[in-house]
Structure formats: C-alpha cells, structure tokens
C-alpha cells in the first residue's frame, strides 16, 4: 500500500528538491562562465557529475567544490522552514508553516498597493483586465469568506463594517467570483481601506490558524473529493489563490509606474 503524504510533507519535499536544483544550477553557471573548477582530462565536467550523482553523493561533491555556496543555500532553506530550539532545530508544525505562508501574502500585499493614487489603483491594462483595487479586494474577500466558514465566525467584511465603508454596489456575500468586466471596473478604492481591510482579515486568519493542532488541520471537510479535502487543504487553496492574485497586483503596479 502506497504511503500517503500530507500536503505539508509534499511542500517540504518540493522545497528540498528546489534547493538541490538551485545548487546544481549554481555549479553549471560557474562551470560555464568561469574556469574555477579543475576539469579532468576525461570524463564529465564537474557540474555534470554533480547532476548525475545520486542524492547521497551530491552533498559530498557539492561541499568539495563550493562549500560556501552550498552552506548558504542550506542555511537559507532552513531559516524559513525550521525553528531554532535549545537543543538545535526542529521541524515546523503544520500550523506554523501555514502562518508563514499567510505572512508571505502580507509581505507582498503592502508593496503592491502602498503609494498609489485612487486612479492608479483603478487602472486596468485593457477592458478585460483586473485592476489592483479589484485584485486586492478579491483576494481579501476570498480569505475572509474561507476562514470565516472554517472557523464558524462572521465575515470581517460585514461584522466589522467594511461593507458599508467600501460602499460598493454589490451583495454583501459577493467575493468577486464570476465578475464580468463591468463589475470589475466598479470595484474601486483608495489604498488605505484596501490595506486596512486586508490587515483585519489577515490578523483574524493567523490568530485562528495558530490555535489549530495537526489533528484539527487534518479533519476532513469533503470525503467525496480526491483526495479528501481537509481543513489544511482548504487553507492551502486560499493561500495559493491569494499569492496568485497579489502577484498579479504587483505586475499591474509595474505597468502603472511605467506608463
């Protein structure tokens, strides 16, 4: 029977693989651009031997050729995904990893919005595109609605008066899914309300996730889906959606500033 992997384990495996790939790319770049390595008369070049080596041999080869660079990559990979303790390092809990990802959404949201005027936030590259205002509003509404449903609490949008403050011609339950171009263009706001609403939702999200243990995160929401949808899986879906939209907002900001 195949071993079932949790979403967090899959993410961890992906991160480790990315770190190994970066090391391989690093050696390839050094080998092509510089003459740093002593190349043998015959046989594969050093970076080729590194890529073809088994996982166990790669670390040995890497540390012999470029110890400082490898140690840096290992340190960077541990810094975000490991927590220091009195006896060394230990793996993050599932909730701590989720909180880290929610924080990354926040880290990208503020630079995408800060300093832009009302008109710049409403800018759309063409009539079928989304504005920064709509993208920020939508990603916050998605997170608000999802965490509210999971935690059994009221949505921040209505409970904290944001629906009235934004004064959009939309239903209070609207999160932006299915909006046509005309409706997208009607979702406009200044920077302060967008970021204040986002911050309100963000603080509620991380505060609630912090209370969850692994058992709570692995509880099944929908047994008919394949694989079964869990609380953790639902939160990861929200994170992926929000990161996609905040990246789009940052891209549109670049277009605005280069007009």
CB atoms within 10 A of CB 174: 19
The ranges assigned to domains in the chain are 10-91, 94-257
Share of the chain above pLDDT 70, in %: 65
Share of the chain above pLDDT 90, in %: 61
Which residues are CB-contacts of 188 (< 8 A; sequence separation ≥ 6)? 118, 121, 122, 131, 133
**Class of domain 94-257 as given by CATH:** mainly alpha
Range in 8-22, 48-62, 98-112, 198-212 with the lowest mean pLDDT? 48-62
pLDDT at 73 over 90: no
Distance of CA 169 to the CA centre of its chain: 31
Is residue 92 within 8 Å of residue 181, measured between CB atoms? no
- Rounded Cα distance between 82 and 91, Å, is 5
Q: Take residue 218 and report the two structure tokens written for it.
A: 């692995």
DSSP string, 134-203: HHHHHHHHHHHHHHHHHHT---HHHHTSHHHHHT-SS-TT--STT--HHHHHH----HHHHHHHHHHHHH
Could you tell me which of 142, 238, 137, 140 has the C-alpha nearest to residue 183?
137
- Rounded Cα distance between 200 and 209, Å, is 15
Per-residue pLDDT tens digits for 146-183: 999 999 999 999 999 999 999 999 999 999 999 999 99
Ranges 8-12, 86-90, 114-118, most confident: 114-118
Is residue 90 within 8 Å of residue 83, measured between CB atoms? yes
Per-residue pLDDT tens digits for 201-242: 999 999 999 999 999 999 999 988 888 899 999 999 999 999
């Amino acid at each position: 029977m195949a071993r079932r992997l949790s979403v967090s384990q899959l993410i961890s495996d992906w991160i480790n693989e990315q770190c190994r790939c970066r090391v391989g790319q690093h050696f390839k770049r050094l080998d092509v651009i510089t003459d740093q390595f002593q190349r043998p008369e015959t046989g594969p070049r050093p970076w080729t031997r590194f890529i073809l080596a088994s996982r166990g041999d790669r670390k040995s080869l890497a540390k012999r050729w470029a110890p400082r660079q490898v140690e840096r990559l290992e340190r960077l990979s541990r810094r975000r995904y490991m927590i220091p303790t009195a006896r060394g390092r230990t793996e993050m809990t599932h909730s701590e990893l989720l909180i880290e990802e929610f924080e990354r959404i926040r880290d990208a949201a503020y630079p995408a919005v800060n300093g832009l005027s009302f008109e710049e936030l409403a800018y759309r590259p063409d009539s079928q595109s989304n504005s920064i205002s709509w993208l920020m509003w939508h990603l916050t509404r998605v997170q608000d609605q999802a965490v509210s449903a999971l935690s059994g609490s009221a949505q921040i949008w209505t409970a904290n008066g944001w629906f009235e403050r934004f004064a959009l011609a939309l239903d209070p339950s609207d999160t932006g899914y299915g909006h046509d171009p005309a409706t997208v263009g009607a979702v406009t706001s200044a920077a302060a309300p967008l970021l204040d609403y986002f911050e309100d939702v963000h603080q509620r999200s991380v505060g609630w996730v912090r209370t969850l243990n692994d058992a709570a995160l692995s509880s099944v929401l929908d047994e008919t889906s394949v694989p079964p949808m869990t609380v953790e899986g639902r939160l990861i879906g929200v994170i992926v959606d929000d990161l996609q939209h905040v990246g789009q907002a940052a891209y549109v900001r670049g277009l605005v500033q280069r007009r």
